[in-house]
Amino acid sequence: MLQSETFEHYEDKTISTTSATFGLLRKELISNLGMKRAKAFLLRYGWNLGVAHAKEVLKNPTKLEDMLNKGGELHLQTGQISKMISERTLETGENGEVIYIYATGKWLDSFEVKEHIKNHGISDHPVCHTLAGLGSGYTSMILKRKVFLKEIKCRAMGHEDCVYEMRLEEEWHDHPEMLEEIKLYNESSFIEELNYTYEQLLEQKNYIEKVSTFHDTLTTKLSEGHSIEELVLTVSETLDLPVTVEDLNFQARIYEGFTDGEYEKLNEDFLNSLSRTRSGKIQSVTYNKTFIIRGQYHNRLVTPIIVQKQIIGYFTFIYKDKTVELENDMKFIQRAASSAALYFLNEKTSIEAVENMKGYFFEQLLLKQYASESGVIYRGYYMGIDLKEPYYIATLNCSSNQRDSSSMEFYDQIIQSITRYLEMQSFNILITEFNNQIVMLLPKVQDLSFILGNILSHLNNQFRVVNFRIGLSNVSDTIEHITESLEESQIALRINNHDQVVYFENASIVGTLINSKNMMTIRRKAEKELQPILQLKEAKRDELLKTLYVFLLNGGNLQQSISDLSLSMSGLMYRVSKIEKLLNKELRNPIVAYEFLLMLDALKILGDIDV
C-alpha cells in the first residue's frame, strides 16, 4: 500500500514557494541522488500533495466527475501549469464503484519543464514527475482505486506539448516501462533515500580508501626496490586472487595464487576465448584497454601494461567463481598495471644502459677487438652471457614495401622490442646492429626453435607491414669462431628465400663450402670465368646469367628451360649459343656445366648476383 501517514495524524498547512526555489531543490536532488531516485522522490512528493488535496475535497463529497475536475484546479492554483486540457471516460458499477477510467490530457506551461531545461538542458525522457504524481495520488484517493498517470510526451524532450495518459493500475500491465515507474511510488521514504545515499557514499569512501591503501602498498614495494615477482605476490595476497603478468602473446611470465597444473588448464580455457584472425592469430590490437574474458571454467579481468605509450604485456586477475562481479576490481587492476609499468619503465631505463654496453661489447666480439679470449669471457659474465657455453649467431632480415626497414631508427625499435620481449621471458642474449643488419648471439637451449618462432610472432604483431626472417648458424663452442658463425647465418638467408627461420645446417653443399678463408678465392675464380658476361650492360648481363643458371640447373633440358624462362625454342638456343661464344665453353660438357653451376650458386650465396 502507498503510505500517507503524514496526512493521517496532522493537520496540513499550506505553504507557498517559488518555482525557482523548487527548481533549485529539484536540481540538488538530481545531482545528489541521481535521475532515477530523484524521479522517485518527486513522484511520491506529488502523490502526497494529491492525496492531501483529495482529503480536503472528500470532507464535502459531491459527484465523482465534479470531484475529479477539482484535481486540475490544484495544478492551476499552485501555478504548476497555466492550463490543462483533458478528456476522460469513467464507468461505475451498480453500487457506484469505479470499474474503468481512462483519460488523456495536456499540461500547458509546466513549471518542471522550465526548471529542468534551465538547469539540465534538453532531456531524453519526460520530466513532469511532480505533476504525474499529483494527478495519480489525487485521483486514486477520490476513486478509492489505484490510478496512475504517465507522461508520454514532454516539452523538455522537444515535443510540442506535455501529454499524459491515465489508467487503472491493472490497465498498465502490458507496459513494462510504466510498471517500473509504478514501483517507484512504493519505494522507501526520503529519509531512507538519504540513508541509502549515505551508505552508498560510505561504501564508496571505504572502496576508495582500500584502493588508495592498495596503491600505497605497491608504491612502497617499488620504492624499496622489490622485484616484479614480489609485486605480483603482494597483489595476489592483498586481494586474495590468482594473478598473472603475461607477455603480448598472453603467455604468463609470472603467476601467483594457483599451481602449475591449474594455470595450464585455465590458460587453455582463456586462450580459447580470445578473438583471432582467420589464420588463427590473436587479434592483439583489440586488447588495448581493460577487458573481461568469460571462459568455460573461469573469468578474467585483463588490462594492458603500458610503458611510454606502448603495450608491453598484460596484468590479469583470475576468478574461479564465475558469479563474482569483475567490474568492482577495475581500479585495483589498473593500479596494479600502473605499478608494473613503473617497474618495467625503471627496468627499461636500466636495460637500455646495459644493452648499449652489451651492444658495444657484441660489436667488439664480431670485430674481434679484444686482447685475449679469457679476458672477453670474463667480461661476458658481467653482461649475463657465458661465452664458454655453446652458442648460435642469428641474423635478422627485415623487408617491407610500405616503410623504410633499413634505417638506424627502425633497427633501434626492433632491438628494443626484442630485448623487452626476451626480458619478459627471462632469456638473455646479445643483440646489436652490425653492418646494416641486426645480429644476435643466442645461448644453446633445448627449445631455441620455439623461442625464435615466438620472437618472429612478437615482431609480426608489433610491425605488421614488415616481413622478418632469421638465419641461424651452426652451433659453435668457442668465441674464436664468431665471425664464421656470422657468415653462416647470412649464407643461410641467401640460400633460402622462403622460410621464416633458416638453418645453416640445412644449407646446400655449396653454402657449407663457403667461409671467410676461401670466400675471396671463390669470388675471384667465378668473376674471372664469368667476366665476359659480367662486363655487359646490366639488363643484358642479368638476362644471360639467368638463362645460364636455369639451363644448367635443369641439366640442359631444353623443354624445362623453355618453360621456366618463358622463351621459344629458337630464343633459348640463341641465348645458349651466345653464352657459349662469350665464355668459349661447351655447356653440354658435364664438367663445364658442373663448374659453372657451382660458381653461379657461390655468387648467389655471396650476394653478388640475383638469379
Q: Which CATH number fits domain 19-187: 3.30.565.10, 3.40.1440.10, 3.40.190.10, 3.30.1380.20?
A: 3.30.1380.20
Q: Average pLDDT for residues 94-118, to the nearest whole number?
A: 91
pLDDT of residue 9: 43
How much is the mean pLDDT over the chain? 84
Under the banding of pLDDT at 50, 70 and 90, the label for residue 148 is very high
Q: Average pLDDT for residues 322-337, to the nearest whole number?
A: 86
Q: Which of 161, 170, 136 is nearest to 54 (CA)?
A: 136
Whether the pLDDT of residue 55 is over 60: the answer is: yes
Strand order of the sheet with strand 147-153? 83-92, 98-108, 162-168, 147-153
Distance CA 139, CA 149 (A): 9
Under the banding of pLDDT at 50, 70 and 90, the label for residue 104 is very high
Whether the pLDDT of residue 290 is over 80: the answer is: yes
Task: Name the pairing type of β-strands 299-307 and 291-294.
Answer: antiparallel
Lowest mean pLDDT among 252-261, 278-287, 418-427: 278-287
Please determine, looking at this structure, whether the domain spanning 202-347 carries the CATH number 3.30.450.40: yes
Q: Is 368 left (phi over 0), alpha (psi -120 to 50) or beta?
A: left
Q: Where are the domains of the chain?
A: 19-187, 202-347, 368-507, 518-606
Do 4 and 48 contact (CB within 8 A), yes or no? Answer: yes
Containing 95, the helix (H) or strand (E) segment is: none
pLDDT of residue 313: 87
Under the banding of pLDDT at 50, 70 and 90, the label for residue 284 is low
> What is the CATH code of the structural domain delimited by 518-606?
1.10.10.2840
pLDDT: is 219 or 140 the higher one?
Answer: 140
Distance CA 558, CA 578 (A): 16
pLDDT of residue 590: 84
pLDDT of residue 285: 59
pLDDT of residue 126: 95
Q: Give every CB contact of residue 46 below 8 A, 6+ residues apart in sequence.
A: 129, 130, 131, 132, 133, 134, 135, 136, 137
pLDDT: is 11 or 518 the higher one?
Answer: 518
pLDDT of residue 279: 67
18-22, 186-190, 208-212, 598-602 — most confident range: 208-212
pLDDT of residue 7: 36
Lowest mean pLDDT among 71-85, 234-248, 277-291, 359-373: 277-291
pLDDT of residue 188: 55
pLDDT of residue 193: 60
pLDDT of residue 283: 65
Q: Average pLDDT for residues 409-426, to the nearest whole number?
A: 85
Under the banding of pLDDT at 50, 70 and 90, the label for residue 223 is confident
Q: Average pLDDT for residues 42-56, to the nearest whole number?
A: 90
pLDDT of residue 10: 41
Strand order of the sheet with strand 252-256? 252-256, 243-246, 310-319, 299-307, 291-294
pLDDT in tens, 296-309: 888 889 999 988 88
Containing 425, the helix (H) or strand (E) segment is: none
> What is the CATH code of the structural domain delimited by 368-507?
3.30.70.270
pLDDT of residue 404: 78
pLDDT of residue 1: 39
pLDDT of residue 520: 65
pLDDT of residue 395: 95
473-486: string of b/e by CB count within 10 Å (b at 16+)?
Answer: bbebeebebbeebb
